[in-house]
Amino acid sequence: MQFMLLFSRQGKLRLQKWYVPLSDKEKKKITRELVQTVLARKPKMCSFLEWRDLKIVYKRYASLYFCCAIEDQDNELITLEIIHRYVELLDKYFGSVCELDIIFNFEKAYFILDEFLLGGEVQETSKKNVLKAIEQADLLQEDAK
Amino acid sequence: MPAPIRLRELIRTIRTARTQAEEREMIQKECAAIRSSFREEDNTYRCRNVAKLLYMHMLGYPAHFGQLECLKLIASQKFTDKRIGYLGAMLLLDERQDVHLLMTNCIKNDLNHSTQFVQGLALCTLGCMGSSEMCRDLAGEVEKLLKTSNSYLRKKAALCAVHVIRKVPELMEMFLPATKNLLNEKNHGVLHTSVVLLTEMCERSPDMLAHFRKLVPQLVRILKNLIMSGYSPEHDVSGISDPFLQVRILRLLRILGRNDDDSSEAMNDILAQVATNTETSKNVGNAILYETVLTIMDIKSESGLRVLAINILGRFLLNNDKNIRYVALTSLLKTVQTDHNAVQRHRSTIVDCLKDLDVSIKRRAMELSFALVNGNNIRGMMKELLYFLDSCEPEFKADCASGIFLAAEKYAPSKRWHIDTIMRVLTTAGSYVRDDAVPNLIQLITNSVEIHAYTVQRLYKAILGDYSQQPLVQVAAWCIGEYGDLLISGQCEEEEPIQVTEDEVLDILESVLISNMSTSVTRGYALTAIMKLSTRFTCTVNRIKKVVSIYGSSIDVELQQRAVEYNALFKKYDHMRSALLERMPVMEKVTTNGPTEIVQTNGETEPAPLETKPPPSGPQPTSQANDLLDLLGGNDMTPVIPTAPTSKPASAGGELLDLLGDISLTGMFPVGAPAAAPAPASVPQISQPPFLLDGLSSQPLFNDITSGIPSITAYSKNGLKIEFTFERSNTNPSVTVITIQASNSTELDMTDFVFQAAVPKTFQLQLLSPSSSIVPAFNTGTITQVIKVLNPQKQQLRMRIKLTYNHKGSAMQDLAEVNNFPPQSWQ
């Protein structure tokens, strides 16, 4: 995976995780263009599109779009599962997650993502283990206070 | 100074802003406060401030002044600080700035920290955005952690190693020992990341690939356990056990089994098992099936398995889920060349996908449809494709039109069908066809002698209603000019003849001339057509004279020149007029499936092949023809441009006949002024048909003294391959003739292809016109071009080439040096 973006239906960015080195300017440009492209898609269209030389996989959950850019040899269908797994993790952590949770607790959303993916690849396939790690790290944070 | 506000409060405040300006004001205020807080080196609130900064950064505001603060947080001992610090580093720092290197030491320390979560943070950050320098410095630490028994750290270390290898491939070797027992792990996280690491290593190094082939049995076993094992709540997704791991194992198996019979055989059973047993009701099952199909098609699997795979794809095509249909079409496109018959069975489903609402699906269905067209299904397929052309989005029309032309040319059951099809394309998508369609169609029409009347009648009717589509109008104008006599004679065998008067014909041509929609090129066609009719029509010659003289003062230089010359024809050279405007000879056409073999003569003159090949002919600018002869240097050469075989008027002098020969082969625009007038500048210098070059090489003009010079692959990148074949001139040993052939193995055509070459100063180079500007996909055709190199000093041949073309919607350009010329080509 090269990057993952979360954005609202109005095009506001809620999370951006980049696994390739790009300048801030390039990231902004890519984000702007991609958000526009995805938001322009009609509901009946499929979740995949070609964009530049990447494959884009996106899925909408309530008011948030989850959008991943994968490479040619990556499996689009399993990427949909990866997105779904991430949503499940957020849901379990926040308890019925909604966009506001991610807005107000964006740093936690990042922490959870970083326990699930690393360098663009899945690091843990067990939901339980990811959540356990986050829980323990949170405790550590509490203790340190 | 009061405590800085909390993160959540800031977020809440900013969200109350009603306008962009209001938000900006709040942000600026807060940034100022954060800045002063940073200046005070306040440790307590640094974490909070950086977190706020990260929020504002996500909104799009600059936050670079927080970079050093992130580093300070990372260096702190508090876990909270480190967490935010590393997050900030990943978001704000990037490897282009030297600042990021300051992290290296901190990360090194944290990799050895006593708390695994701190180590985890360090591994994560390094694996996400570590630069090459950082990776070099810290690879050793990562390697150490790869061997730890702590699975939490081991899995992260594995992915971190993947990143290190991607950044610094030379370091791959050092991770090899640590991979020894990776697959013995029970922990799925470690297993998954290990498989990713092994995949990365195998993809990058053939040695590693060979080394890891021995893991195939173990991988097969792991996969088998996943499928056969009972319900495992920890890894279950809709009844399937750890699909993520299954997919990665299948992918690794693909790489290991590729081109290796033994490995492929070892995995045959498990692949069949996965293919038949996986539950397909949900996306997750289909994801695994998809990966399985990709693996089956890529390894050396037995035919039964391959058919199974294609059938799975066929079933995918019928799935309601359009995502599944999409991947099916993509996969079929990859396999259509190798397993053509199997894919043919699903043709009707594929054609149905042309009607899908989704643009991506339509495009793939279109590409696949073209790949499946053959002599048997051409009529049916063309109906569907023409219907598709009618209704598809504009972005498809050009590709679709080109595809239809190509298919029609290869498999047309009859000439009339061919012309009808092309006409249909011109009328429905006329403005989207590529430039070379016009001369190709004209050529096709001249060759279909028996239906000239039918053709001109249809074309006339087509532009009567609408003359806005330029390619259509150009072809129609040309035909009317050529065959106007047939049009007004009211003879047509194929369909009901229409009654047209000479004036009506001139009306339409004049309308084209006057219309704002007509381009300069189209106007040129129309004017010339009108001129030609002066010898074919009887009652309206005066009208034609008038039109021609009016345009003698046209603002358009091209039109003006023509009109003036035509005027001259009427006035001073009237006796030549009928000869000059004679009917065009039939042009022999070689199929545009790439030129026929560029013959490398091997030391003998071969008159026989010359006779059996079709007499090469075709448009060639006269100036280049002359240069060609000059370069050949030999006056004993037969002229390269053969005279056309059909009848010529016996009028005028001998030199006029020669000129005529040249002119008629130059194509559409007989130049009025005799002798030295160069071909008019506006002759569309579009794709030159290949046969002239064929003619060049198949004639025994070059006698290779030695046995054939080996050809070389001069360039091979991104699916574009260019091969050079060589011939030496018997009579002029300093001349080397290089014929280049460009082919394209990707799935999409390369258009507007331009080949340029440069040689060192002691050489002279002449580049002749290429056969076309499109390199068709899937190696279905090539572009040929001839280069003549003069090397009087017999120096070693070197060449720099520049390639420009359009591919997949973007402009591509590449420079390359060709240094591997065989010595026989220049010695």
Span B490-513, pLDDT tens digits? 777 777 778 888 888 888 888 888
What is A3-144's CATH number, 3.40.50.20, 3.30.450.60, 3.40.109.10, 3.40.50.300?
3.30.450.60
Tokens of B438: 């016009």
In 3D space, the residue among B298, B370, B327 whose CA is nearest the CA of residue B777 turns out to be B370
In 3D space, the residue among B744, B715, B743, B741 whose CA is nearest the CA of residue B726 turns out to be B741
**Rounded average pLDDT over B790-819:** 87
**Distant-in-sequence, close-in-space partners of B548: CB < 8 Å, separation ≥ 6:** B527, B530, B531, B563, B566, B567, B570
Interchain contact, A122 vs B115, CB within 8 Å: no
Tokens of B268: 């045959």
Q: Which of A104-108, B164-168, B786-790 has the lowest mean pLDDT?
A: B786-790
In 3D space, the residue among B81, B179, B173, B94 whose CA is nearest the CA of residue B128 turns out to be B94
3-class SS of residue B462: helix
In 3D space, the residue among B749, B756, B796, B799 whose CA is nearest the CA of residue B775 turns out to be B749
> How is the beta sheet containing B782-790 ordered, strand by strand?
B712-717, B720-728, B735-744, B782-790, B764-767
Cα–Cα distance, B112 to B114 (Å, whole number): 7
**Rounded average pLDDT over B513-530:** 88
Q: Hey, which residues 157-176 in chain B have their CB within 8 Å of chain A?
A: 159-160, 162-163
Do B430 and B415 touch, CB atoms closer than 8 A? Answer: no
- Cα nearest neighbour of B127 on chain A: A119
pLDDT of residue B110: 95
Span B533-585, pLDDT tens digits? 888 888 888 888 888 888 888 888 888 998 998 888 888 888 888 788 888 77
In 3D space, the residue among B273, B329, B319, B330 whose CA is nearest the CA of residue B296 turns out to be B273
pLDDT of residue B256: 95
pLDDT of residue B305: 92
3-class SS of residue B207: helix
Cα–Cα distance, B202 to B256 (Å, whole number): 8
Q: Hey, which residues 764-823 in chain B have their CB within 8 Å of chain A?
A: 808, 810
**Rounded average pLDDT over B671-677:** 36
Query: From the CA of B775, how many Å to the nearest CA of chain A?
Result: 20
What type of residue sits at position B302? E
pLDDT of residue B492: 76
Which residue segments constitute the domains of chain B, with CATH numbers given?
A: 435-581 (no CATH), 712-825 (2.60.40.1230)
Domain boundaries, chain A: 3-144
Q: How far is CA B354 from each of CA B350, B373, B383, B405, B746, rounded to the nearest angstrom?
A: 7, 14, 12, 18, 22
Q: Which of B185, B188, B193, B297 has the most A C-beta neighbours within 10 Å, making it the best mutation to test the interface with A? A: B193
Do B298 and B264 touch, CB atoms closer than 8 A? Answer: no
Q: Which of A25-29, B330-334, B389-393, B618-622 has the lowest mean pLDDT?
A: B618-622
**Regarding predicted confidence, which is higher, B628 or B93?**
B93
Q: Hey, which residues 227-246 in chain B have their CB within 8 Å of chain A?
A: 234-235, 237, 242-245
Evaluate if residue B629 carries a pLDDT over 80: no
Q: Which of B101-105, B447-451, B598-602 has the lowest mean pLDDT?
A: B598-602
**Rounded average pLDDT over B160-189:** 93
Q: Grade residue B827 by pLDDT with cuts at 50, 70 and 90.
A: confident
Count other Cβ atoms within 10 Å, centred on residue B653: 10
pLDDT of residue B90: 94
**Rounded average pLDDT over B304-315:** 91
Quote the Cα angle for B652-B655-B656, to 5°. Answer: 45
pLDDT of residue A71: 93
Cα–Cα distance, B102 to B372 (Å, whole number): 58
3-class SS of residue B617: coil
Cα–Cα distance, B676 to B654 (Å, whole number): 15
Evaluate if residue A115 carries a pLDDT over 90: yes
Interchain contact, B124 vs A46, CB within 8 Å: no
Cα–Cα distance, B145 to B157 (Å, whole number): 6
Host H or E run for residue B744: strand B735-744
Compute chain B's Rg from CA coordinates.
35
**Rounded average pLDDT over B164-171:** 95
pLDDT of residue B367: 92
What type of residue sits at position B632? L
Do B480 and B459 touch, CB atoms closer than 8 A? Answer: yes
- Cα nearest neighbour of B320 on chain A: A46
Q: HSE-up of B94 (CA within 13 Å, CB side)? A: 15
Give the ranges where B320-414 is alpha helix by DSSP (H): 322-335, 340-344, 347-352, 359-372, 378-391, 394-411
Q: Any idea how long chain A is?
A: 145
Q: How far is CA B580 from each of CA B34, B531, B650, rounded to the nearest angstrom?
A: 86, 11, 12
